[in-house]
């Protein structure tokens, strides 16, 4: 499906960067591992892959969007 500029994309949910950046990142056991610093993406032959960049104890982690649960 191609969505032209100005048209609505029916049935899809879009999340704004401003809604994600600054949020705490909690791992499966409940420990806070950092905060979201930015969003990033990679263009692949299969499509676009998204990730969040997390500032965790002074180092940057990139967590694939597919691994995010909320």
Rounded Cα–Cα distance for residues 26 and 52 (Å): 13
pLDDT value of position 46: 85
Which helix (H) or strand (E) segment holds residue 20: the answer is helix 17-20
CATH 3.40.1050.10 for domain 17-67, yes or no, is no
pLDDT value of position 69: 81
The overall pTM is greater than 0.85: no
Each residue of 2-61: pLDDT tens digit? 555 556 677 778 888 899 999 999 988 999 999 999 999 899 888 888 888 998 888 888
Q: For 62, left (φ over 0), alpha (ψ -120 to 50), or beta?
A: beta
Rounded Cα–Cα distance for residues 12 and 33 (Å): 29
pLDDT value of position 35: 92
Residue 28: strand, helix, or coil: coil
Residue 50 phi/psi, 5-degree rounding, is -105, 155
Residue 48: strand, helix, or coil: strand
Binned at pLDDT 50, 70 and 90, residue 66 comes out as confident
């Amino acid at each position: 499906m191609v969505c032209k500029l100005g048209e609505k994309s029916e049935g899809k949910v879009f999340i704004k960067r401003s809604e994600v950046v600054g949020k705490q990142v909690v791992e499966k056991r409940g420990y806070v591992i950092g905060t979201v610093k930015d969003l990033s993406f990679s263009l692949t032959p299969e499509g676009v892959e998204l990730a969040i960049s997390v500032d965790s104890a002074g180092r940057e982690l990139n967590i694939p969007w597919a691994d995010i649960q909320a």
